[in-house]
C-alpha cells in the first residue's frame, strides 16, 4: 500500500487543527456528534491524522483518506475480510461463521460471489421496477392523503422491506417482524446485547423456516436458487444459504432505508435543489442518486483486519488488529472530489465509495439505486413540495457506522 504522496501524521496541513493530530485514543465512531454530522468529526481527523488508533470497542485503526481507503479495499492480502463479525464494530450479529460472501477473501470469495451475481444483475433487478413503482406509489399516496407524517415509518422502511420481500419472494405480511429484528440487531449492539442476541436467533430461525419450505416445495426464487447452486461441485449447506439470507436482511434494509431518509432530509433542507431535481427527474435522477449517496454515505465505516503487520504513516498496524475503512470520510476527501461538501446533482464522473469498492462492492447496489431512483420519480410526481415538520426534530439512530434516521417528519406542501 503506497503512502509516499501523503504526509506523515505529525505534518499538519496548513489550516488544519493541530489538536486533531494528537493520538485519538478515545475516538468513537458512534459518538452522537459524528452520527448527526460525520464530516464535522471526520474532516479534521482526515486532514491532520489520516491514520487513527482508538482503544474503544477492543481497539481499532481508522483510515479516512480516499486513496488509502481504496488501496485497502483492493489489498486483501494485507487487509483481510475473512474474520467473522468484524465488518461492523461492535458487531450487529456476533458469530463464528462467516457472513457469505462478504466475510471471505479470494479465492473463496470469488467462488461464492459468482453464485449470487446473476441474482443481482441489473437486467434481473430491473424486472422488479413495475412492482416497486406500484409499491412506492401506494405508500406515497397514503402519505399525501394524510398531509404528511414520519416518512421513515410511512415510506422508507416499508419501501426498503417491500423491495427485499419481492427480491427474495418472502411474504409482505412478515415485514413487521423483519423490521423489529433488524432494528434490535443494529441498535442493541450498543444498548442491550441480550436482546440483540435474541433478535439474531429469531431472524435466523425465520430464514431456516423459509429454507425448509423451499426444500419441500422448490421455487426458482432467491433462496430456492441458492439451494440448487453449487460451488466447484459442492452444494451450499443450509447454514451457508442462511448466511446469504441474513446478509440480505441486514445489509439490504438498513442501508437503503437510511439512504432514503437522509436524501429526503437533504432535499427538504435545500428546496432549490429539490426543485431542480424534480423539475427534470428523467435527466438528473441517475447522477443525483449517486451524488446523494456520496454525501450521505449510509455505510460510514466498514471493518477489516490486518492480515499481517502493516507499516503505514510511520505506524505499525499489528497483525489481527481491526482496521475501519472510512467510506464516508473518503467520500468527502477534497483530494478526490471538487466541492466535496456540496451536493452537485449532475456530478460526473462520481467515484464515490457508498457501495464500497473492488471485489466486495455491494451486491445490492443495483437494487438500492433502483429504489432511490423510483423514490425520486414518485416524489417528483406526487409530492414535489414538502417541508420539515417544525413540531418534530429529525431523530438519528445510535450507530455511526451504518448511519440512518429513526424518524423524519415531513409536511406535504410548501406551506
Given a cut of 60, whether residue 338 has pLDDT beyond it is yes
Quickly list H helices, 1-121.
32-36, 38-48, 66-74, 108-116
Rounded Cα distance between 203 and 164, Å, is 15
Name the phi and psi angles at 317, rounded to 5: -90, 110
Which grid coordinates belong to 180?
423489529
* Mean pLDDT in residue range 140-164: 95
Q: 312 - beta bridge partners?
A: 315
- What is the pTM (predicted TM-score) of this model? 0.89
Q: Is the dihedral of CA 301, 306, 312, 317 positive or negative?
A: positive
> Which of 359, 116, 132 is closest to 247 using CA atoms?
116
* Residue 262 three-state SS: helix
pLDDT (tens digit per residue) in 399-415: 999 999 999 999 997 66
Sequence-ordered strand ranges (E) for 45-158: 51-54, 60-63, 79-80, 148-150
* Residue 354 three-state SS: coil
Confidence band for 137, pLDDT divided at 50, 70 and 90: very high
Q: How far from the centroid of its chain's Cα atoms is residue 85's Cα?
A: 16
Homologous superfamily of 24-412? Cytochrome P450 (1.10.630.10)
Given a cut of 60, whether residue 23 has pLDDT beyond it is no
Q: Is the dihedral of CA 39, 348, 132, 201 positive or negative?
A: negative
What pLDDT sits at residue 24?
A: 58
Rounded Cα distance between 341 and 357, Å, is 21
Q: 305 - beta bridge partners?
A: 80, 322
Average pLDDT, the chain: 89
* Mean pLDDT in residue range 218-226: 88
- Residue scoring higher pLDDT (247 or 379): 379
Rounded Cα distance between 31 and 371, Å, is 29
Sequence-ordered strand ranges (E) for 143-231: 148-150, 230-231
pLDDT (tens digit per residue) in 71-108: 999 999 999 999 998 998 988 766 778 888 999 999 99
Amino acid at each position: 500500500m503506497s503512502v509516499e504522496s501523503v504526509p506523515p501524521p505529525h505534518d499538519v496541513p496548513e489550516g488544519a487543527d493541530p489538536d486533531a493530530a494528537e493520538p485519538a485514543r478515545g475516538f468513537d465512531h458512534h459518538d452522537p456528534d459524528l452520527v448527526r454530522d460525520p464530516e464535522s468529526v471526520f474532516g479534521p481527523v482526515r486532514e491532520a491524522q489520516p491514520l487513527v488508533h482508538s482503544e474503544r470497542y477492543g481497539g481499532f485503526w481508522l483510515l479516512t483518506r480516499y486513496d488509502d481507503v481504496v488501496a485497502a479495499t483492493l489489498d486483501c492480502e494485507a487487509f483481510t475480510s475473512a474474520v467473522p463479525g468484524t465488518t461492523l464494530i461492535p458487531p450487529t450479529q456476533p458469530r463464528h461463521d462467516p457472513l457469505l460472501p462478504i466475510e471471505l477473501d479470494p479465492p473463496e470469495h470469488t467462488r461464492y460471489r459468482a453464485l449470487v451475481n446473476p441474482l443481482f444483475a441489473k437486467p434481473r433487478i430491473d424486472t422488479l421496477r413495475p412492482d416497486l413503482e406500484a409499491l412506492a406509489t401506494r405508500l406515497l399516496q397514503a402519505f399525501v392523503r394524510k398531509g404528511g407524517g414520519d416518512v421513515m415509518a410511512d415510506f422508507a422502511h416499508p419501501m426498503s422491506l417491500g423491495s427485499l420481500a419481492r427480491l427474495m419472494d418472502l411474504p409482505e405480511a412478515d415485514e413487521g417482524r423483519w423490521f423489529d429484528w433488524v432494528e434490535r440487531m443494529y441498535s442493541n449492539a450498543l444498548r442491550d446485547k441480550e436482546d440483540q442476541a435474541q433478535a439474531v436467533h429469531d431472524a435466523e430461525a425465520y430464514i431456516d423456516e423459509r429454507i425448509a419450505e423451499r426444500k419441500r416445495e422448490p421455487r426458482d426464487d432467491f433462496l430456492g436458487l441458492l439451494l440448487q447452486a453449487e460451488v466447484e461441485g459442492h452444494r451450499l449447506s443450509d447454514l451457508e444459504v442462511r448466511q446469504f439470507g441474513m446478509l440480505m436482511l441486514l445489509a439490504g434494509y438498513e442501508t437503503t432505508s437510511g439512504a432514503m431518509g437522509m436524501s429526503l432530509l437533504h432535499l427538504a433542507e435545500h428546496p432549490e435543489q429539490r426543485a431542480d431535481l424534480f423539475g427534470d427527474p428523467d435527466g438528473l435522477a441517475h447522477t443525483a442518486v449517486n451524488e446523494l449517496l456520496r454525501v450521505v454515505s449510509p455505510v460510514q465505516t466498514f471493518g477489516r483486519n490486518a492480515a499481517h503487520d502493516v507499516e503505514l504513516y510511520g505506524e505499525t498496524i499489528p497483525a489481527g488488529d481491526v482496521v475501519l475503512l472510512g467510506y464516508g470520510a473518503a467520500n468527502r476527501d477534497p483530494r478526490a472530489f471538487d466541492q466535496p461538501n456540496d451536493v452537485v446533482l449532475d456530478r460526473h464522473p462520481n467515484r464515490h465509495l457508498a457501495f464500497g469498492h473492488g471485489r466486495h462492492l455491494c451486491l445490492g447496489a443495483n437494487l438500492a439505486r433502483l429504489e432511490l431512483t423510483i423514490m425520486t420519480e414518485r416524489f417528483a410526481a406526487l409530492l414535489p413540495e414538502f417541508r420539515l415538520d417544525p413540531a418534530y426534530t429529525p431523530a438519528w439512530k445510535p450507530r455511526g457506522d451504518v448511519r440512518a434516521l429513526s424518524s423524519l417528519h415531513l409536511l406535504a406542501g410548501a406551506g
